Amino acid sequence: HIKDSYYFEVPRALWSSHRESIGDFPSWWVRNDSDFQKWEAERLINELGGLGGDAPSDIALHDLVHDWEHWQHEAHLNHGRPLDVFLEMQNANAIAAWKAWQKQEGNAKKPIADYLDEADVPYEWFVRAMADPETAEKWQGAKREAGDLAAYEEHAEWSETKIEHYNELLQGKILIPQPFGELRNAYQRESGFAISKFMVIEVVVAVLVCVLFAWLAKRMASSDRPRGRLWNMLEAFLLFIRNDIARNAIGHHDGDKFTPVLWSLFFFILGCNLMGILPWLGAPTGSFAVTLALAVVTFGTGMLCGMKRFGFFGFWKNQIPSMHLPPAILFTLGLVVIPMLFVIEVVGLFIKHGVLGIRLLANMVAGHLVLFGIMNIAFGGEAIVATTSWWMTAAIVVVGATLFTCLELFVAFLQAYVFSLLSALFIGQAVHHH
């Protein structure tokens, strides 16, 4: 519910995995398999000798494999990364050190070869090889050849035990197809455009909002008065946003112009928030990328409409508050105070829109974290208290989690309202004189 991923997780009974061979598993899953990575590393090592330059010795290659395996377990971010990534990161570190070395007096124009002659650089032979464009191009071809999944599937065979273990791990996980990109794992993109769980949920919310209000518009066009609970409820929301948010914050005349934008923001945010309460889904508004994009919509709307009304320079001039002072005093203060006010107001303009996105993110994530902490009381208590006491703890936790879920339902509506209200205030400031 909190972290985005490239799969939907449901109860295992609803989605089972019955893969029988290597080819049945996703390509990124196979690439993270330890046997595949060892097979790939062996093929890559065989290719290293043909890159040209100073070929590494057998001892150096043995040390390379040992260092790579140690590096994989050294940090969480390195887990599952192949040998070619390890070597390229070593090369990147060497290039960064060389650029820092160039800043020293007398080294400004010296090539990387001079730096390698003086410094003790890990895998110097690889760094020298990558400095040659022709060798670097050969390296790219060697990587593609070494990591050929089709060749691996043709020659390798996983044991039934491994396949059964992997099927167990994939039980209850609905993997999202990736026609436009490649994944590194279930949570990270490798290249291209990867479709995540939150993206799917956002599209679903957008479609539902469009369908719902297309239905409402059709009903309103064919009847003079609301009929039915859904119609009355939706119209109440629409009128509230127009009368109590848009018109109050922007003005009666301009407020009606921006009401459709505020309607769209409110119902999209509300839909995303409510998705976080449903089982097996998640709230896209718990992702900073989503909330920042929504804040950019508000910022862009206010800035573009402000520039349309006041002109490009007039919009930025309007950021400075009016000062009703005598001309002589105003001229004297203007040399110092007005530039300071301009900088403060412009910086504040960006900060307040950034905070607009952060506060929505923080409020949505906080609710899930509180529920997570409450549920952990039961699991932690089971290990330290007697069985009879644990049942009492579990009952309290269930009641507490239920109450907090009801509170989250209220927060979902509240945060959609607050975001829309602040957006209306910011847009109103952008299109009116200060």
What is the C-alpha separation between 131 and 98, in angstroms, rounded? 12
Number of domains the chain is built from:
2
Q: What is the pTM of this model?
A: 0.81
pLDDT score, position 53: 56
Are both 208 and 117 inside the same structural domain? no
Per-residue pLDDT reduced to its tens digit, 384-415: 555 556 667 667 777 777 777 788 888 889 99
Residues 236, 163 within the same domain: no
- Decide if 187 is inside a domain: no
Does 425 or 227 have the greater pLDDT score? 425
Statement to judge: residues 69 and 217 lie in one domain: no
Chain centre to alpha carbon of residue 406: 27
Kindly state whether residue 121 falls inside one of the protein's structural domains.
Answer: yes
176 part of a folded domain: no
Whether residues 292 and 424 share a domain: the answer is yes
Which pLDDT does position 377 carry in this prediction? 65
Query: Does residue 358 lie in a domain region?
Result: yes
pLDDT of res. 92 = 92
Cα torsion angle, 321, 324, 327, 332, sign: negative
State the pLDDT at residue 204: 95
Instruction: Please identify, among 119, 149, 170, the residue that sits at the C-terminal boundary of a domain.
Output: 170
**Mean pLDDT of the region 152-156:** 85
**pLDDT at res. 262:** 93
Provide the residue range defining the domain that includes 332: 200-431
Same domain, 208 and 329: yes
Where helices occur in 10-132 by DSSP H, the ranges are 27-31, 34-48, 58-74, 83-102, 112-118, 124-130
Assess contact for 14 and 117: CB atoms under 8 A. no
Does 81 share its domain with 159?
yes
pLDDT of residue 209: 93
The mean-pLDDT minimum among 246-250, 306-310, 329-333, 420-424 falls in 329-333
Q: What is the pLDDT of residue 385?
A: 55
Whether residues 162 and 276 fall in one domain = no
pLDDT in tens, 278-329: 888 888 988 888 999 999 999 999 999 888 888 888 878 777 766 666 666 6
Answer yes or no: is 379 within a domain.
Answer: yes
Looking at the structure, tell me whether residues 397 and 294 fall in a common domain. Answer: yes
Regarding whether 237 and 125 lie in a shared domain, the answer is no
Q: Evaluate whether residue 123 is within a structural domain.
A: yes
- Say if residue 156's pLDDT is above 80: yes
User: How many Å apart are CA 263 and CA 266, to the nearest integer?
Assistant: 5
**117-146 burial code (b ≥16 CB/10 A, e <16):** eeeebebbbbbbbbbeeeeeebbeebbeeb
Domain boundary residue among 150, 170, 190?
Answer: 170
Among 120-124, 220-224, 299-303, 315-319, which range has the highest average pLDDT?
299-303
Checking if the pLDDT of 151 tops 90, the result is no
Residues 238 and 334 in one domain: yes
Q: What pLDDT does 325 receive? A: 60
| Distance, CA of 427 to CA of 260 (rounded, Å) | 13
> Which of 223, 248, 247 shows the shortest CA–CA distance to 235?
223
Of 154, 170, 186, the residue that ends a domain is 170
- pLDDT confidence tier of residue 56, bands split at 50, 70 and 90: low
Together in a domain, 60 and 149: yes
Mean pLDDT of the chain: 84
Residues for the chain: how many in total? 434
pLDDT at 380: 60
* Residue 386 maps to a domain: yes
Residue 189 lies in a domain: no
Give residue 234's pLDDT: 87
- Asked if 285 and 387 sit in the same domain, the reply is yes
Q: Which of 237-246, 268-277, 305-314 has the lowest mean pLDDT?
A: 305-314
pLDDT, tens digit (0-9, with 9 covering 90-100), for 159-191: 899 999 999 999 999 999 999 989 988 888 888
